[in-house]
Chain A
Amino acid sequence: MHWLGLVPFLTFVTLFLILPTLYIVVGAFRAQGGGFTLDNITGLNTASIRSAYWVSIKISLASASLGCLVGFCMAAAMTLGDLPKFVRGPLLTFSGVASNFAGVPLAFAFLATLGPIGLVTVFLRTNLGIDLRAMGFNILSFWGLTITYLFFQIPLMILIITPALDGLKREWREAAAILGATGPQYWRMVAFPILFPSILGTMALLFANSFGAVATAIALTGSSLNIVPILLFAQIRGDVLGNPYLGYALAFGMIIVTGIANTIYIVLRARSERWQK
């Protein structure tokens, strides 16, 4: 009878997490009058929805890979770069704050910085004669959104990869050196293969993280950029696609993408933990 103690929790999770999600998933395969259909899924195959998914995936890929790269460099500099001890604590604390500073205020911060009359835009134009706008940069665009997302992607990478970097044992490096390995060789043949699952796994997590980001995108671009979260938001508000079942299919597609990314993360995480005993 021990499972009775779990009843409140399971009831809550079923009613307010599982059932709502299942309702969407089932709705994606339901015909207008009831009954099973694949029409809603195939209905996603229009030029505008295809492009929404494609732009979303591109932004997520760009912000995830750049976030991984920059976050890895900063975390490696912090753990292995022979820096004074006082760098580590503040940087990790700041990462905790920045990875949670997302949503609407983050968009405002970047508008005030890289927007048409933002600090950096004006500084570059008046002092260095560089006109970002003439160069084709616009904060309400693919790159604008990617740069903004990096503000929470990089810190998340730092927070997740630092334990993995700490787990690189000094003995491995010494053993490699005794066998005659140079620094780059040690990285290429020892450290990187060990870190690779962690890096790739975190990248998948960052991908899902930016793919599901709604608030930042809406506050930054309004509805001017055609990406999946914004499209779904508009669909829930006012059925812009003209077919409620298409909305379910759109949401189902989102679950599939973030689900795949998270599965990759979980599998690779389990692999990478083999080295951290």
Chain B
Amino acid sequence: MTRIAAWGAIALGMLYFLMPLVGMAEFSLKMRRGVYSLDAYARVLGDPKFQETFGYSVVMAIFTILFGVLLVVPTAYWVRLKLPGARPYIEFVTLLPLVIPAIVVVFGYIRLYNTSSWLPLTGTAMGTNILLMFGYTTLALPYMYRAVDTGLRTIDVATMTEAAQSLGAGWITILARIILPNVLVAVLSGAFLTFAIVIGEFTMAALLNRPAFGPYMQLLGANRAYEPAALAVIAFAITWACMGLIQLVTRLSKHDRARN
């Protein structure tokens, strides 16, 4: 009885989840009248605008990840090592991006860093790119910080630091060659999640007027019929790949640890 109800709940739920996935996949194949074809994909992938915006977003994601790692790993390490009392406060700050909607943050950017301000980041394309990267970093901060902090919990930070110091290592060596390799799995999990977030992000890129993938998808959606469905399939595949990679690195590391 319980089991039948349980199967029923799962089946109904999955029906709801599969419906739009099947819907978008089927729709994306219907561009040519009467037969299924990959025309919509060919059209999308061949669009120079697609290549440009997708490339732009990939580069932005990579820089966001690098910047995020440089910002979060030393901070989380330092808090664990020297300022354990500050941990709840830092953690609270890293959760703020979940509370403050992204549209509000970027609204503040536009007013605070415009051409007539003390730090006119939006004055140049490069400056705006950097501002957008900072914005993406705040979006990723809650996930990145939690991932790295959890990773640091599993290692003995204090002992490792002392051992490295007694062998003559400086702070940069300790961070780059002791701490980072030990929390690499956590960092990679955070990095893939950041990638998934940045690649499809719409609000910040649109309001800062940057040629990113999110605004491109929105524009295409407003003007075309079949291509958007193909884009949705591609975006879903990317999200799926990122999550799959997270699972993969986590599993590989568990395997390693069990063997040692």
Instruction: Report A's interface with B, CB cutoff 8 A.
Output: 2-3, 5-6, 8-9, 12-13, 15-24, 27, 70, 73-74, 76-78, 80-83, 87, 91, 93-94, 96-98, 100-101, 103-114, 118-120, 150-151, 154, 208, 211-212, 214-215, 218-219, 222, 229, 232-233, 236-237, 247, 251, 254-255, 258-259, 262
Contacts and interface: CB of A to CB of B under 8 A. Distances in A.
Interface of B: 2-3, 5-10, 13, 16-17, 19-24, 26-28, 71-72, 74-75, 78-79, 82-83, 86, 90, 93, 96-112, 134-135, 137-138, 141, 193, 196-197, 200-203, 206-207, 214, 217-218, 221-222, 228-229, 231-232, 235-236, 239-240, 242-244, 246-247
A254 B200 contact: no
Contacts, number: 250
B210 to A, nearest CB: 14
A9 B90 contact: yes
B205 to A, nearest CB: 10
Contacts of B97: 17
Given A9-B75, A16-B138, A83-B10, A104 B20 contact: no
Nearest to A92: B247
B20 A112 contact: yes
Given A2-B83, A108-B228, A20 B222 contact: no
A258 B101 contact: yes
Tell me if B's interface is mostly helix, strand, loop or mixed.
helix
Contact of A98 (B17, B71, B231): B17
Given A76-B9, A81-B5, A258-B100, A20 B207 contact: no
A109 B23 contact: yes
Contact of B23 (A76, A104, A113): A113
Nearest to B26: A119
